[in-house]
Structure 1
Amino acid sequence: MLSQRIIAIARGRSVAPGGRASAVALSRAWQATHSYTRKANFHSSKLLQAETVKVPQMAESISEGTLKSWLKQPGEFVNADEEVATIETDKIDVSVNAPVSGTITELLAGEEDTVTVGQDLFRLEPGEDGGASKPKEAAKEEQTDKTSEKPPAPPAPSKEDVKQKDTAGVQEGTEKKEVKETTKPAQESKPSKSKDEAKPKSEAPPPQAAFSRNETRVKMNRMRLRIAERLKESQNAAASLTTFNEIDMSALMDFRKKYKDEVLKEHEVKLGYMSAFAKASCLALKEIPVANASIEEGDIVYRDYVDLSIAVATPKGLVTPVVRNAESMNMIQIEREIANLGKKARDGKLTIEDMAGGTFTISNGGVFGSLYGTPIINLPQAAVLGMHSIRDRPVVVNGQIVIRPIMIVALTYDHRLLDGREATTFLVKVRDYIQDPAKMLLA
């Protein structure tokens, strides 16, 4: 109706007998309507600023994943680069971060959904405060409105009301007193219950099941599925064979005991056994290069560097982050890099670059108490060294039976590349380096 009257004024027609006063009123109405329209247009343009965040590029070989969890919900404010969602792939967990600061307006996928690279994931309306705090003026007005909504205070009672109230109070007190005195004898006249009747009857506890036959079905995560595929692929493709040997750990244990405190103080790194086996393996691989090789399209690829894959157990499965150019590092550098990769693995922060490649693998099942084991080759690598727990055993030294801390080590190798001679020689060299750590300084 208002718009029709405004249009009529514009066309020069008379709409009311108010004359000039009506025109002025309509002019003001037009200004108010125009102001409201501008505000509405501004608000709608703000909504159009909301941008759609897509599933990021994860790796060349990964095109999809499972949306494991939303860390933010619609209406929540996020800062730039703050993690919003986690996508699980068959290799790593990928974090999806907010490109800019703003408020999440809509989630376009649900948890446990399969999402592909480039798919719309959520919508974000850019902004600085995200509506987390109101302006002072708005807060003040809101407080004023709340104050005005309070019910009015009751009027002060008159003298007559006070007098009636006092009289009623006296009468009420008298009546209560009389009732109390009247009911007291009645309470005393009640017969007392016997001790047996006073005790509540104990109910028999419900019978408990002697055993349970419950079953729980849990979907395999993508990493577990990928590990299963890789292990079966290795079992089917490689001509796997395992050889064992014993290592007297006395010298290495004394070496570690002597220097671990000094290393921790100067380098802030805990000196363990893994770095010694890594260094010994790198030196042995130089002498037996075929153990550091791989088969690719009918060719044998030899390498003059060692990218050492270290097996690390995580809640989702076994992963093998890589220590690059381990042959050029000393034991302290190797220990530091292993510690960093282990922490990233446990925190779920490993990247594709951390696990890509690898030319030789070391797996330490001894930390879980393993005594013997045959590790599986991590294709396309040629071999994997398995460490186990240290146990005191009776051994013969210089014709005498003595007790020594012994570790059983295993080397599983691809017989298509390594013959028994190379594999056994490699394992013996590792044993010699560990039993006399000073030799690693001379190699």
Structure 2
Amino acid sequence: MLARNISRAGQSLLKSRLPTTSFPISNVCKISSFSIQNSIRYASTKVKVPDMAESITEGTLASFNKEVGDFINQDELLATIETDKIDVEVNAPVSGTIKTLLVEPDSTVEVGQEIAEIEEGGEAPAKEESKEEKPKEDKSKEDKSKEEPKEEKKPEQPKEEKKPEPKKEEPSKPKKEDKPKPKKEETKKESSSSPSFTNFSRNEERVKMNRMRLRIAERLKESQNTAASLTTFNEVDMSNLMDMRKLYKDEFLEKTGIKLGFMGAFSKAACLAAKDIPAVNASIENNDTLVFRDYTDISIAVATPKGLVTPIVRNAESRSILGIEEEIAALGKKARDGKLTLEDMTGGTFTISNGGVFGSLYGTPIINMPQTAVLGLHGVKQRPVTVNGQIVSRPMMYLALTYDHRVLDGREAVTFLKTIKELIEDPRKMLLLE
């Protein structure tokens, strides 16, 4: 088409500027059309770190899910960023081919920073698979054709067997090989000469702490340095609560698909006890102001592969025991799947940590700042106790309440824990106090 549009005057100019050698105008047109096609480039889009939360401005780029040259669909996962609380997923804003990755894994990135560039357009890899299948067949044919001449060259091998004679004339090579051997022995001796106390492995491995682990360490140390922590203990007879659980767990499982545990009952007992001791649910603000609340947002400690997280059951005081259990089960699943959001963990007025599920018998939990108290639950064990003058075996659990003595007095803390004990030992009371 370009050749038809070129005028005669243009052709004469081209002829005058071209070398004396014959060069057809049609070839010039082909070159120009080829350069025009190659000059077309797709628009590129920069991928930036998304806004995460007001309190989070940076994170660590954990990994890229794609490499340079890979095709990525719109909204497909491109990278994962670790923050102090959760993992943030970065999805592709457009479909196209990844042109460059601007950041290396394990590096710190800030909100709004460019981490990759995507060239829009291109084809999905599904279309390329059909193209790649054809050369595989050709390669198989080529391999067969290559195998045939190799078989024909076999009779020529005896001619090559005459050549090992000059190789025997090189005695210097084995001598040189003998020299490095003592060096290797020397290195072994050096390692063995280092102080060794056992015949077992004493290797060490150093792994960089992820952001969540670092943040947990900072907050725990901040809690120890800030709060006037004190722990009070009690023990609770779990007989009645366990009997109630046996009666209704199958019915609850059929209706909701969730196993009935102990966390719902303890959460409800803590909410009712906090009505009598409101300071348990309070916090210090600006070092000189106490904030009292008429609601209870309970942080439930959940263990994940990356560390301990505390999703929140909001308005637990307004929920039933079964309603709290349903919410705890939903939050626990989100935590294990890595789907927790910042909203799931922001806030919290009181924390319950159940170390008993891991076999803990006794322990002192650390306050989750800026909260005032944390309740620690432990394992249920059959122990001999005295009931009405008789020594009997009962399922017993130790309770631990760590509290900030700046907010909560000892009398109030002991009363709070004693109220929880009474409500758990007779769960029917919780229906009367709602």
Q: Which category describes the TM-score, using the shorter chain as reference length?
A: 0.7 to 0.9
Residues 108 and 261 of structure 1: CA distance in aligned 2, closer, same or farther (over 3 Å): same
Post-superposition Cα deviations, 1:15-41, rounded to whole Å, max 9, x if no partner, equal: 49xxxxx99x52x44543443243123
Q: 1:6-155 counterparts in 2 under 5 A?
A: 10=10, 12=12, 15=15, 26=25, 28-42=26-40, 44=41, 46=42, 49-127=43-121, 129-134=123-128
Q: Distance in 2 between matches of 1:266 and 1:15?
A: 89
Q: Give 1:185's aligned residue.
A: none
Residues 132 and 241 of structure 1: CA distance in aligned 2, closer, same or farther (over 3 Å): same
Matched residue type, 2:72: V
1:91–1:352 contact (8 Å) kept in structure 2: yes
Q: 1:111-260 counterparts in 2 under 5 A?
A: 111-127=105-121, 129-134=123-128, 210-260=199-249
Q: Give 2:171's aligned residue.
A: none
Q: Give 1:307's aligned residue.
A: 297
Q: Distance in 2 between matches of 1:279 and 1:258?
A: 19
Q: Distance in 2 between matches of 1:325 and 1:385?
A: 18
1:107–1:121 contact (8 Å) kept in structure 2: yes
- SS, match of residue 126 in structure 2: coil
Q: Distance in 2 between matches of 1:259 and 1:338?
A: 18
1:74–1:104 contact (8 Å) kept in structure 2: yes
Q: 1:345-364 counterparts in 2 under 5 A?
A: 345-364=335-354
Residues 315 and 13 of structure 1: CA distance in aligned 2, closer, same or farther (over 3 Å): closer
Q: Distance in 2 between matches of 1:441 and 1:33?
A: 88
- SS, match of residue 274 in structure 2: helix
Q: Give 1:286's aligned residue.
A: 275
Q: Distance in 1 between matches of 2:321 and 2:361?
A: 25
Residues 14 and 210 of structure 1: CA distance in aligned 2, closer, same or farther (over 3 Å): closer
Q: Distance in 1 between matches of 2:36 and 2:290?
A: 73
Q: Give 1:19's aligned residue.
A: none
Matched residue type, 1:35: S
Q: Distance in 1 between matches of 2:223 and 2:12?
A: 90
Q: Distance in 1 between matches of 2:46 and 2:93?
A: 10
Post-superposition Cα deviations, 1:219-269, rounded to whole Å, max 9, x if no partner, equal: 121111111111111111111111111100000000001100000001111
Moved runs in structure 1, 4+ residues, more than 6 A? none
Matched residue type, 1:255: M
| Greater gyration radius | 1
2:392 aligns with one of 385, 402, 414: 402
Q: Distance in 2 between matches of 1:385 and 1:292?
A: 12
Q: Give 1:429's aligned residue.
A: 419
- SS, match of residue 132 in structure 1: helix
Give the drift of 1:400: 1.1
Q: Please provide the CA RMSD for this pair.
A: 2.9
1:269–1:332 contact (8 Å) kept in structure 2: no
Q: 1:407-418 counterparts in 2 under 5 A?
A: 407-418=397-408
Residues 330 and 13 of structure 1: CA distance in aligned 2, closer, same or farther (over 3 Å): closer
Post-superposition Cα deviations, 1:107-157, rounded to whole Å, max 9, x if no partner, equal: 111111111111111111233743430599x899x78x969x989x9xxxx
Q: Distance in 2 between matches of 1:131 and 1:400?
A: 76
1:390 aligns with one of 377, 380, 399: 380
Residues 278 and 211 of structure 1: CA distance in aligned 2, closer, same or farther (over 3 Å): same
1:9–1:15 contact (8 Å) kept in structure 2: no
Q: Give 1:168's aligned residue.
A: none
Give the drift of 1:356: 0.7
Matched residue type, 1:103: T
1:77–1:132 contact (8 Å) kept in structure 2: no
Post-superposition Cα deviations, 1:16-72, rounded to whole Å, max 9, x if no partner, equal: 9xxxxx99x52x445434432431233x2x2xx121101111221222111111211
1:81–1:98 contact (8 Å) kept in structure 2: yes
Residues 12 and 337 of structure 1: CA distance in aligned 2, closer, same or farther (over 3 Å): same
Give the drift of 1:364: 0.5
Q: Give 1:295's aligned residue.
A: 284
Residues 146 and 402 of structure 1: CA distance in aligned 2, closer, same or farther (over 3 Å): closer
Post-superposition Cα deviations, 1:322-378, rounded to whole Å, max 9, x if no partner, equal: 111111111122111111111221222222111111000000111111111111111
Count of residues in correspondence between the two structures: 369
TM-score (norm 1): 0.77
Identical-pair percentage: 61
- SS, match of residue 127 in structure 2: coil
Q: Distance in 1 between matches of 2:268 and 2:242?
A: 16
